[in-house]
Amino acid sequence: MEQKLSRQVALITGASSGIGAGVAKAMAASGATVVLNYPVDATRPAAEAILADITAAGGKGMTCQADVSKEDEVVRMFKDVVSAYGTVDILVNNAGLQRDSAFTEMTLDQWNTVIGVNLTGQFLCAREAVREFLRRGMQPEKSRALGKIICMSSVHEIIPWAGHANYAASKGGIHMLMQTISQEFAPKKIRINAIGPGAIKTPINHAAWATPEAEAKLEELIPYGRVGVVEDIGAAAVWLASDDSDYVNGVTLFVDGGMTLFPGFSTNG
């Protein structure tokens, strides 16, 4: 059966857990061949387990190691994917992490680690993806676009976040990286957009929803009244990768239960 992403190869960075794993499952269920990137050997079993779930559900794909903050590893990963599957059609620039700290205590290492993975990693992967799209050329039987890139941003691309200066700076940077390269490559029929997740139940924010009290406090920030799940992001990613969004370029789609509506102002201001 023809599905939204049939015959397309989707590379998802940081797919061994959290949102990346959820997006990989959603794209595989929509017919894509998925490449599950994981950063280091220690995370390989987790990536293999996600791939096993995907193949058990009738999907297909492979895992691929690369630390996205390292140029040589990113270049090698794209070579591996192209030699395995011929090309890449969709890049989900998802790999990201937090190294939280009060600003006055923040070390350069915490700053560099977050900027390196979250922002430089997205630059390196997007650059290799665009190079591959241009090399491969149009394949109209697969998609109306030459290629699609989805940058995983955050509500913190617009909401300042005390104690997380490195993370918020990386997400603000992703916004301008995404829009600038979208402007540069829309004429070549490459669609580049972002998703801005709000609070989604994953390991990155476990403490924020691990107890009923914590979850209730978190929900004060979410007008829609529930913490998100990775399936919420997976569905948005499939839409942004498919021709259903063919006229969508350079936007951040917030998937956040209304977190960016500044709910504090509903009873103040």
By CB under 6 A, name the binding residues for ligand BGC. Answer: 98, 154-156, 198-199, 204-205, 208
> Least distance (Å) from ligand BGC to the CB of residue 199?
4
Nearest to 163 by CA among 97, 98, 99, 102: 102
Residue 178 has a CB neighbour count (10 Å cut-off) of: 24
Give catalytic residues, as residue numbers. Answer: 167
Q: What are the φ/ψ torsions at residue 5 (nearest 5 degrees)? A: -115, 20
Which CB atom, from 51 or from 174, has the smaller least distance to ligand BGC? Answer: 174
Which CB atom, from 148 or from 156, has the smaller least distance to ligand BGC? Answer: 156
Sign of CA dihedral 69, 70, 73, 77: positive
> Least distance (Å) from ligand BGC to the CB of residue 98?
6
Nearest to 82 by CA among 161, 3, 171, 9: 9
> Least distance (Å) from ligand BGC to the CB of residue 88?
25
SS3 content of the chain, % helix, strand, coil (to 5): 50, 15, 35
Residue with tokens 């021709």: 243
Which CB atom, from 159 or from 251, has the smaller least distance to ligand BGC? Answer: 159
Contact 36, 118 (CB under 8 A): no
> Least distance (Å) from ligand BGC to the CB of residue 123?
19
- Residue 61's H or E segment, with its range, is strand 60-65
Contact 142, 7 (CB under 8 A): yes
Nearest to 11 by CA among 89, 127, 124: 89
Which CB atom, from 98 or from 166, has the smaller least distance to ligand BGC? Answer: 98
Which CB atom, from 65 or from 110, has the smaller least distance to ligand BGC? Answer: 110
Contacts of 260 (CB under 8 A, 6+ apart): 155, 158, 159, 196, 198, 254
237 vs 249: CA distance, rounded Å: 14
Which CB atom, from 199 or from 255, has the smaller least distance to ligand BGC? Answer: 199
> For residue 204, what are its two tokens?
């990155």
> Least distance (Å) from ligand BGC to the CB of residue 26?
19
> Least distance (Å) from ligand BGC to the CB of residue 57?
27
